């Protein structure tokens, strides 16, 4: 997922950020809720409560315009290059009600209207909490707010048709084009992502594809070409492809969590490599950023 610097809650108009590492506001300003185990499980199943890692108000990053981006906790993937490993487990999040988040969406509606922005649900993997995600999407659409979901697509089977109707834009993270490379990078299978992509195509759902370029892991020409081929198969729903260069900004988080970081010696890709990869997508007629 793209990275930006922090915008504090008090700022009425966020600055534009250009690919700098995010220092999120955490859950500051959101009220956590304490429930006993049984009540919490019931609330989670209904979607009235979810585990939230952080939120931020940013421009030109997670979809069009100025956006309230809410990062949910929990992810089924174990990406070697994850820059927010603290989002992998739901227990590391804060329990927050959907109503609390939707109240914040309502507060920023004038900003969204003025900038063409809206609500983005990211993670982690938002489809780890499908009921909560569905409630946020439905609530935002009831306010006529543009919605975006940032997902790997691995849990696309959890996205109901009703949820898909409430999503205006999908940011689809395709981690790799080759099954073996995908499993090496994430610990999971590629096919569910491809299946979800096909579903987006068939539904005519606006899609932005994201691909993280990691030297020695995802940069092999055959892997890049495979990603590009998969994207072409999605057809005209793909409005743009974002090639995101790997960075080491999340390394300290791995250390703080006591997790082994396998890419400690990996350097960011050279500008020439990034441009060659972008050219691979452009050569297939895709708009690339």
What tens digit of pLDDT does each residue of 69-102 get? 999 999 999 999 999 999 999 999 999 999 999 9
Beta-ladder partners of 120? 69, 148
Residue 75 lies in a domain: yes
Residue 1 predicted with pLDDT over 80: no
Residue 235 lies in a domain: yes
Residue 270 lies in a domain: yes
Domain span at 213: 37-282
In the numeric block, the tokens 């950023």 are attached to 289
* C-alpha closest to that of 151 among 135, 132, 174: 174
Q: What is the pLDDT of residues 35-47, one digit of tens each?
A: 777 887 888 889 9
- 0.85 cut: is pTM over it? yes
Residue 287 lies in a domain: no
Please give the biggest Cα pair distance in the chain: 56
Distance in angstroms (rounded) separating the CA atoms of residues 110 and 129 = 28
Q: Strand, helix or coil at 245?
A: strand
Distance in angstroms (rounded) separating the CA atoms of residues 231 and 248 = 27
Residue 178 lies in a domain: yes
Q: What is the pLDDT of residues 98-131, one digit of tens each?
A: 999 999 999 999 999 999 999 999 999 999 999 9
Return the DSSP state at 36. -
Query: Residue 259: which CATH number?
Result: 3.20.20.70
> What does 147-212 look like in DSSP terms, one character per residue?
EEEEE-STTGGG--HHHHHT-SEEEEE---SSHHHHHHHHSS-SHHHHHHHHHHHHHT--EEEEEE
Q: What is the mean pLDDT of the chain?
A: 90
Structural domains in the chain (count): 1
């Amino acid at each position: 997922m793209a990275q930006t610097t922090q915008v504090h809650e008090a700022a009425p108009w966020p600055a534009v950020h250009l690919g700098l590492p995010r220092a999120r506001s955490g859950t500051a300003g959101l009220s956590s809720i304490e429930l006993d185990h049984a009540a919490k499980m019931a609330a989670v199943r209904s979607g009235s409560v979810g585990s939230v890692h952080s939120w931020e108000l940013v421009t030109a990053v997670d979809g069009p315009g100025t956006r309230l981006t809410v990062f949910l906790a929990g992810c089924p993937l174990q990406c070697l290059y994850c820059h927010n490993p603290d989002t992998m487990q739901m227990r590391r999040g804060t329990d927050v009600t959907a109503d609390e988040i939707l109240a914040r969406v309502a507060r920023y509606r004038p900003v969204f209207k003025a900038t063409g922005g809206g609500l983005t649900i990211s993670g982690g993997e938002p489809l780890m909490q499908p009921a909560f995600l569905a409630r946020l999407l439905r609530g935002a659409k009831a306010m006529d707010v543009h919605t975006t979901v940032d997902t790997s697509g691995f849990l696309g089977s959890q996205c109901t048709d009703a949820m898909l109707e409430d999503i205006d834009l999908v940011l689809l993270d395709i981690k790799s084009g080759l099954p073996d490379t995908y499993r090496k990078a994430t610990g999971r299978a590629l096919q569910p992502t491809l299946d979800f992509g096909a579903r987006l195509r068939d539904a005519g759902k606006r899609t932005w594809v994201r691909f993280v370029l990691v030297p020695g892991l995802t940069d092999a020409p055959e892997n890049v070409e495979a990603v590009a081929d998969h994207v072409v198969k999605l057809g005209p729903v793909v409005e743009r492809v974002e090639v995101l260069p790997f960075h080491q900004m999340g390394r300290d988080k791995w250390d703080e969590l006591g997790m082994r970081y396998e890419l400690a010696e990996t350097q960011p890709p050279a500008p020439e490599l990034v441009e060659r990869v972008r050219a691979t997508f452009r050569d297939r007629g895709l708009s690339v950023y």
